[in-house]
Structure 1
Amino acid sequence: MKTLEATPATTEANKQVVLAYVEAFNRADMAALRRIFADDALVYGVLGWGTMDQVIPVWQELHAAFALHLRVEAIAADGDNVMVRYLEQGQSVGSFRGGPVTGKTYEIVAMEHFVVREGRIERRWGARDSAAMNRQMGLPLG
Structure 2
Amino acid sequence: MTSEANRLTMQKFVEFINTASQALADELISTDAIFHVPGSPEPMRGPAGYLAIIAMMREGFPDIQWTLEEMVAEGDKVAARFIMRGTHQGTFFGVPPTGKQIAVQAMNLYRLSDGKFVEERGQPDMLGLLQQIGAVPSH
Same fold by TM-score greater than 0.5? yes
1:62 matched to 2:57: yes
Residue 139 of structure 1, CA deviation: 2.8
| Equivalent position to 1:16, from 8, 28, 36 | 8
1:116 — aligned with what? 112
Task: Find out whether 1:51 has 2:45 as its counterpart.
Answer: yes
Give the alignment's Cα RMSD to 1 decimal.
Answer: 1.9
Q: Residue by residue, what CA displacement relative to the aligned partner does 1:50-109 show, whole Å, maximum 9, x if unpaired? A: 213344223212113113211111111111001111122121011235430100011121
Q: Number of residues paired by the alignment?
A: 133
Quick one: which amino acid aligns to residue 108 of structure 2?
Answer: E
Structure 1: which 4+ aligned runs deviate by more than 3 Å? none
Any unmatched runs of 5+ in structure 2?
A: none
1:140 shift after superposition = 5.3
Matched residue SS, 1:58: helix
Q: Distance in 2 between matches of 1:36 and 1:12?
A: 16
Distance 2:135 2:79 in 1: 29
Q: Which runs of 5+ in 1 are unaligned?
A: 1-5
Alpha-carbon distance in 1 for matches of 2:78, 2:49: 23
| Displacement after TM superposition at 1:17 (Å) | 1.2
When the two structures are superposed, what TM-score results if normalisation uses the length of structure 1?
A: 0.83
Residue type of the alignment partner of 2:65: H
**Shift in Å at residue 130 of structure 1?**
0.5
Q: Structure 1 residues 119, 54: closer, same or farther in 2, change over 3 A?
A: closer
Q: Distance in 2 between matches of 1:50 and 1:77?
A: 23
Residue 105 of structure 2: SS of its match in structure 1? Answer: strand
User: Residues 20 and 51 of structure 2 are in contact (CA less than 8 Å); yes or no, is this contact kept in structure 1?
Assistant: no
The partner residue of 1:35 within 27, 30, 37 is 27
The aligned residue for residue 96 of structure 2 is 100
The answer to whether 1:138 aligns with 2:134 is yes
